[in-house]
């Protein structure tokens, strides 16, 4: 971490600014919003600074302390209790001299557009006071920072400031009501994700305050045990839904499987308890019944539990079995769909699952071996103009290819295996029913993988767009 993000209280404190142009103006506006006392030293002042000063004095404010002069070290020495100096002139040598004087006096210094000579830098700010977000690249990528700020501005409702202020006014009352920190957290999460928040966002503050007071008075014991079955998608964290991310950030406990990518898992709330319940072929250290019971037990303790699954919970994810158990025990739950591996991996490999000229239907098939066999309705799978997608098929790949050929599918039918699809480790192996097993085994491909069989695979060469250099043929 190059810089430690901090929020400074500048109310009524002295700030010295050297420079009177447009560059200085931007910094002055920021520190003035923080209610600092601002002294500016410059030979000349831009019209906007003069207008700002005149407007403040007209409205009875103290305004700016403007000193028309060339900067001298004495200006810094004469101003008592300075907390920060901003060097904002077009003279780089002067800016660095100002910074040197400040640092020698242990005063925070900011040199505009010269972070190497600054002890503090100004971030890009999303202001929903009392909620504030500061974004910085340490001066390395200012355009990227502006892009991120734009995204945050769009994501945060303008009424977030109203909700933050309302919460602050009730903070002590809530603290007195709930002695247990977990109960307080659960109470506030219900407030921030419910009708009270919506009323605040709509600027109906009286109604929001009424609802919050009623909720506080009517709540004796706050237990919100609930389970969220969340589809984590095929690996790329950008493919998560907004709801998935929101619930992952609320969770007290997260049970995750081996198909959840590290990048997706890193988006779970930092202080949540993470429990690995992954299973591989022939290795089931945590049985499905045990997972089902864990979900029930943790919810009954009042926790918000996320069952985080790779892909989609209802496509070979055993989500149906888990919510059956939850329903039997009266545990409230939600299901958040995820992008299933077939859709995500095929898209990132440039293989459309359906195409007017190649395939008018697609089948998703569990391709794992059981006792060395694969009991599938092979004649039904060998149909024209159909794409076959085999999940969990790496170990049984030879069986899949041989059975399809034996039941009438042409040996030259294009086939692909996608390893770690949608991630920066993605590899795509292209062949046909005859050649694919040897190509994959020679390369040493490892799970997670997905097998696609059908003429749509022939479009890969033309349509591949992601991580093309990693493609193996």
Dump pLDDT digits (tens) for 175-227.
999 888 888 888 898 888 777 887 888 888 999 999 999 988 885 555 557 89
Active site includes 48?
no
Residues 61-104 have pLDDT tens digits of 777 999 999 999 999 999 999 999 999 999 999 999 999 999 99
Q: What is the pLDDT of residue 183?
A: 85
What are the binding residues? 22-23, 43-44, 234, 310-312, 315, 340-341, 392, 421
Whether residue 4 has pLDDT greater than 70:
yes
What are the binding residues for S-adenosyl-L-methionine? 234, 310-312, 315, 340-341, 392, 421
Q: What is the pLDDT of residue 239?
A: 95
Q: What is the pLDDT of residue 283?
A: 57
Band of pLDDT at residue 156, cut at 50, 70 and 90: confident
Q: What is the pLDDT of residue 224?
A: 53
Q: What is the pLDDT of residue 471?
A: 44
CATH assignment of 14-122, among 3.40.50.720, 3.40.50.150, 3.30.565.60, 3.40.50.300: 3.40.50.720
Residues 397-433 have pLDDT tens digits of 999 999 999 999 999 999 999 999 999 999 999 999 9
Q: What is the pLDDT of residue 8?
A: 93
Q: What is the pLDDT of residue 373?
A: 83
Q: What is the pLDDT of residue 153?
A: 87
Catalytic residue among 177, 185, 279, 294: 279
Active site includes 271?
no
Whether residue 138 has pLDDT greater than 90:
no
Q: Which CATH architecture has domain 345-470?
A: 2-Layer Sandwich (3.30)
193: which residues sit within 8 A by CB, 6+ positions away?
246, 250
Whether residue 49 has pLDDT greater than 70:
yes
CATH code of the region 160-218 = 1.10.8
Residues 335-385 have pLDDT tens digits of 999 999 999 999 999 999 999 999 999 999 999 888 778 889 999 999 999
Over residues 90-119, mean pLDDT: 94
Report the percent of the chain where pLDDT is more than 90: 73
More confident residue, 393 or 243: 393
Whether residue 470 has pLDDT greater than 50:
no
Catalytic residue among 257, 309, 420, 432: 257
What is the pTM for the complete model shown?
0.63
Domains 14-122 and 226-339 in one fold: no
What are the binding residues for NAD(+)? 22-23, 43-44
Domain residue limits, the chain: 14-122, 160-218, 226-339, 345-470
Band of pLDDT at residue 284, cut at 50, 70 and 90: low
Q: Which CATH superfamily is domain 226-339 in?
A: Tetrapyrrole methylase, N-terminal domain (3.40.1010.10)
Least confident among 84-88, 158-162, 305-309, 414-418: 158-162
Q: What is the pLDDT of residue 221?
A: 55
More confident residue, 467 or 238: 238
Over residues 240-261, mean pLDDT: 90
Residues 222-247 have pLDDT tens digits of 555 789 999 999 999 999 998 899 88
Least confident among 33-37, 58-62, 167-171: 58-62
Band of pLDDT at residue 467, cut at 50, 70 and 90: confident
Q: Work out the mean pLDDT of the chain and round it to a whole number.
A: 91
Residues 438-454 have pLDDT tens digits of 999 999 999 999 999 99
Whether residue 292 has pLDDT greater than 70:
yes
Over residues 255-271, mean pLDDT: 93
């Amino acid at each position: 971490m190059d810089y430690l993000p901090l929020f400074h209280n500048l109310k009524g404190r002295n700030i010295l600014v050297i420079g009177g142009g447009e560059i200085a103006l931007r910094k002055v506006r920021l520190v003035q919003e923080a209610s600092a006392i601002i002294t500016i030293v410059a030979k000349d002042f831009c019209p906007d600074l003069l207008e700002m000063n005149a407007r403040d004095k007209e409205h009875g404010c103290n305004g700016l302390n403007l000193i028309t002069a060339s900067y001298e070290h004495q200006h810094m020495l004469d101003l008592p209790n300075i907390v920060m100096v901003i060097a904002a002139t077009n003279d780089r040598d002067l800016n660095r001299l100002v910074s040197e004087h400040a640092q020698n006096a242990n005063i925070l210094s900011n040199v505009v557009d010269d972070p190497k000579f600054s002890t503090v830098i100004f971030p890009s700010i999303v202001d929903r006071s009392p909620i504030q977000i500061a974004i910085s690249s340490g001066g390395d990528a200012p355009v990227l920072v502006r892009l991120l700020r734009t995204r945050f501005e769009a994501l945060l409702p303008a009424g977030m400031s109203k909700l933050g202020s309302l919460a602050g006014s009730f903070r002590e009352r809530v603290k007195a009501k709930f002695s247990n920190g977990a109960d307080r957290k659960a109470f506030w999460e219900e407030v921030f994700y419910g009708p009270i928040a919506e009323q605040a966002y709509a600027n109906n503050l009286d109604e929001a305050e009424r609802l919050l007071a009623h909720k506080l008075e009517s709540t004796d014991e706050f237990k919100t045990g609930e389970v969220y079955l969340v589809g984590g998608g095929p690996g790329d964290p950008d493919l998560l839904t907004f709801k998935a991310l929101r619930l992952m950030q609320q969770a007290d406990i997260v049970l995750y499987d081996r198909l959840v990518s590290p990048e997706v898992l890193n988006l779970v709330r930092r202080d949540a308890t993470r429990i690995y319940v992954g299973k591989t072929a022939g290795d089931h250290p945590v049985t499905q019944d045990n997972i089902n019971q864990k979900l029930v037990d943790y919810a009954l303790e009042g926790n918000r539990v996320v069952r985080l699954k790779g892909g989609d919970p209802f496509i070979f994810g055993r989500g149906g079995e888990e919510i059956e158990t939850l329903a039997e025990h009266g545990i409230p739950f939600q299901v958040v769909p995820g992008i299933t591996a077939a859709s995500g991996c095929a898209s990132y490999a440039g293989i459309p699952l359906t195409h007017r000229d190649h395939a008018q239907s697609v089948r998703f098939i569990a391709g794992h071996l059981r006792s060395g066999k694969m009991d599938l309705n092979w004649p039904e799978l060998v149909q024209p103009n159909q794409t076959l997608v085999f999940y969990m098929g790496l170990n049984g790949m030879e069986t899949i290819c041989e059975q399809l050929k034996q039941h009438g599918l042409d040996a030259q039918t294009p086939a692909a295996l996608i390893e770690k699809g949608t991630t920066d480790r993605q590899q795509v192996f292209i062949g046909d029913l005859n050649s694919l097993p040897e190509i994959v085994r020679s390369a040493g491909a490892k799970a997670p993988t997905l097998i696609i069989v059908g003429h749509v695979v022939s479009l890969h060469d033309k349509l591949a767009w992601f991580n093309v250099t990693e493609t193996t043929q």
